[in-house]
Amino acid sequence: MKVLVINCGSSSLKYQLIDMNGEIVLAKGLFERIGSDEAMFTHKRPEGEKYSVVEPIKNHGEALKRLLDILVDAEYGVIKSMDEIDAVGHRVVHGGEKFADSVLITDEVIKGMEECIELAPLHNPPNIEGIKACEAIMPNVPQVGVFDTAFHQTMPKKCFLYGLPYKAYEDLGVRRYGFHGTSHKYVSQRCAELMGKDIKDLKIITCHLGNGSSVTAVDQGKSVDTTMGFTPLSGLVMGTRCGDIDPAIVVFLMEKWNKTAKEIDAMMNKESGVLGISNVSNDFRLLEDAAKEGNEKAQLALDIFHYRVRREIGAMAAVMGGVDAIVFTAGIGENGIGDRAEICKGIEYLGAHIDAERNNVRGEDAEISTADSTVKIFAIPTNEEIMIARDTVRLSK
């Protein structure tokens, strides 16, 4: 069975074609700057030359047509005909309270997704556009939606409710939803596999540290708390997002700087985080370089990031009444050797000891704690695509 996994952003479309017989990635690629005359399309196979072109692409439907053309192309293709694609799995950012699991897409499901647009006005519309474009081009191929929020629907009410008037939740759905769910689910399951244990017997803290970052408490395989909230803006200090701040600051800055709500929202999402603190970059490699050269604000931004992750690890251990394993994943978690070392400084009291030598790895599954550490620490590359593909197989059969 071959599954096409699609992830549509506002001006991008990422894809992987996976042969589920052995879970082999046949091809993957990316469209960027969709909607412009200079859209970029890159297509790769595990072996073979990379295809890369800049051309006008109007919308996601057009990108999808280009993608299907290249998949059957004589030179760069990997399948003979479109009929070989048995199902399509779509990443959908927000499923609200409607979707606690992935779903086979029907007209009713699309209606449900459209009702969630209010909760994710930037993310859900391109996701839905991608689904509709696929339906138009491949009307007989089953499609499945996999939600970033679904894994966190197991959080108890005492965790997901904010201290606001109850009607904010009842009337408008204001609550903690949590994001990166597919990633937290994948790495927690992989962690249990690597430990040779049943996930039902484990308390795992998963740290997804990328451009967006979140920490989740996974107790017996279920998300019981996570740092992101109503939107992906809350929790940790991130690349360009501020994370948790005193909500009164929003009103204070609007008044002092004479800014609109929209302007403050953009500032908190795009100009804050380690970029805003350092004024150097949101890329941790560049921050480290700058810090080494003596840039104090770059060092401060790194210190704040590491401190906040460490603080959330402590909080999640408290939530679960203990912890058996801590997992690092995503760009920084998988590659940031120094970042992992810094975060783990001061969590020894939990029984978690990082091993300097074992920690010297990038981009592969690795246990990085000392042999006698009672809490195991892992670096595990995330694989949201394979989770989406597995759910697509499960639901489209």
Active centre residues (catalytic): 148
Give 19's strand partners. 2, 24
Give 178's strand partners. none
381 binds ligand ADP (CB under 6 A): no
The answer to whether 152 and 120 have CB atoms below 8 angstroms apart is no
Binding characters for ligand ADP, 214-243, by CB under 6 A (x = yes)? -------------------------x----
Binding characters for ligand ADP, 168-207, by CB under 6 A (x = yes)? ----------------------------------------
Smallest distance from ligand ADP to CB 337, Å: 7
Cα 396 to Cα 318: distance, rounded to the nearest angstrom = 39
- 146/224 with CB nearer ligand ADP: 146
Concatenated DSSP letters of 332-374: HHHH-HHHHHHHHTT-GGGTB-B-TTTT---SS-EE-B-TT-S
Give 369's strand partners. 354
Cα 216 to Cα 208: distance, rounded to the nearest angstrom = 8
Query: Shortest Cβ contact with ligand ADP: which residue?
Result: 331
- 124/282 with CB nearer ligand ADP: 282
In the three-class reduction of DSSP (H, G, I as helix; E, B as strand; rest coil), residue 390 is classed as helix
Our CA angle for 60, 61, 65, nearest 5°, is 115
Cα 313 to Cα 207: distance, rounded to the nearest angstrom = 8
- 382/396 with CB nearer ligand ADP: 382
The answer to whether 240 and 269 have CB atoms below 8 angstroms apart is yes
345 binds ligand ADP (CB under 6 A): no
330 binds ligand ADP (CB under 6 A): yes
Cα 123 to Cα 288: distance, rounded to the nearest angstrom = 31
Find the binder of ligand ADP among 97, 283, 355, 365 (CB under 6 A).
Answer: 283
CB neighbour list of residue 251: distance below 8 Å, 6 or more residues apart: none
336 binds ligand ADP (CB under 6 A): yes
The answer to whether 17 and 4 have CB atoms below 8 angstroms apart is yes
CB neighbour list of residue 180: distance below 8 Å, 6 or more residues apart: 148, 208, 212, 214, 216, 226, 228, 330
Smallest distance from ligand ADP to CB 58, Å: 25
- 89/381 with CB nearer ligand ADP: 381
Number of residues that bind ligand ADP (CB under 6 A): 14
Query: What are the E-state strand segments in 74-219?
Result: 87-92, 103-104, 143-147, 203-209, 213-219
- Counting Cβ atoms within 10 Å, is residue 47 exposed (0-12), middle (13-18) or buried (19+)? exposed
Smallest distance from ligand ADP to CB 292, Å: 13
- 44/222 with CB nearer ligand ADP: 44
- 32/339 with CB nearer ligand ADP: 339
Our CA angle for 77, 80, 86, nearest 5°, is 100
Find the binder of ligand ADP among 285, 292, 394, 397 (CB under 6 A).
Answer: 285
Map the footprint of ligand ADP across residues 250-269, applying CB under 6 A.
Answer: none
Q: Which stretch binds ligand ADP (CB under 6 A): 84-92, 106-114, 146-154, 333-341?
A: 333-341
292 binds ligand ADP (CB under 6 A): no
284 binds ligand ADP (CB under 6 A): yes
CA 331 from centre of chain:
10
Map the footprint of ligand ADP across residues 131-160, applying CB under 6 A.
Answer: none
Cα 2 to Cα 277: distance, rounded to the nearest angstrom = 45
305 binds ligand ADP (CB under 6 A): no
Q: Which stretch binds ligand ADP (CB under 6 A): 5-13, 145-153, 168-176, 283-291?
A: 283-291
Smallest distance from ligand ADP to CB 281, Å: 8
- 178/212 with CB nearer ligand ADP: 212
Find the binder of ligand ADP among 93, 332, 344, 366 (CB under 6 A).
Answer: 332
- Chain residues that interact with ligand ADP, rule: CB under 6 A: 210-212, 239, 282-285, 330-332, 335-336, 339
